[in-house]
Amino acid sequence: MEHPRGLVSFGDSMINVDSAANASATTSATTDVIAAPSGGKSVVLTSLTITNATASADYVEIYAGSTLLLARVAVAAASTRDIPCGRGILIAPSTAVRFKAITGGSTIYVSATYTLR
C-alpha cells in the first residue's frame, strides 16, 4: 500500500520517518550508522543507501549490534545501491545499526532513514 511521503507501515499502525543518519568508512572495521538509542528505545530502520566512491566493487554487511542483518550486499564501483526496508526492520532495544565493508579498500558511505519506537 502506498503511503504519503514520510510515513511507513509498521504492523497495523503508521509511523513517521523522523530521522536520518550517515557514516563512512575506508577500512573493514565495523562502523555505526545509527548509534544505539537510550532509554530502551528501538530503531525501526526504513531504508538504507550505500555508496561506493571508489573504482573497485565491494561488498557491505549490515548489522544490528553484532547480529548480521544483510550479508554481502554488492555495491559496484562508483555507484549507489538503495535498499528499501518495506514496513521497516525493528531492531532490538538499545542496539546500534552498523556496517562493514568486506574488502576495506573502498570508501563506503551509508545513509539510513529510521524512527525510534
Taking the C-alpha atoms of residue 58 and residue 29, their distance in angstroms, rounded to an integer, is: 14
- pTM score of the predicted model: 0.82
More confident residue, 54 or 9: 54
How many CB atoms sit inside 10 A of residue 111's CB?
17
Domains and CATH numbers, the chain: 7-116 (2.60.120.340)
What's the pLDDT score for residue 8?
Answer: 42
Report which DSSP code applies to 26. Answer: S
CB 112 within 8 A of CB 20: yes
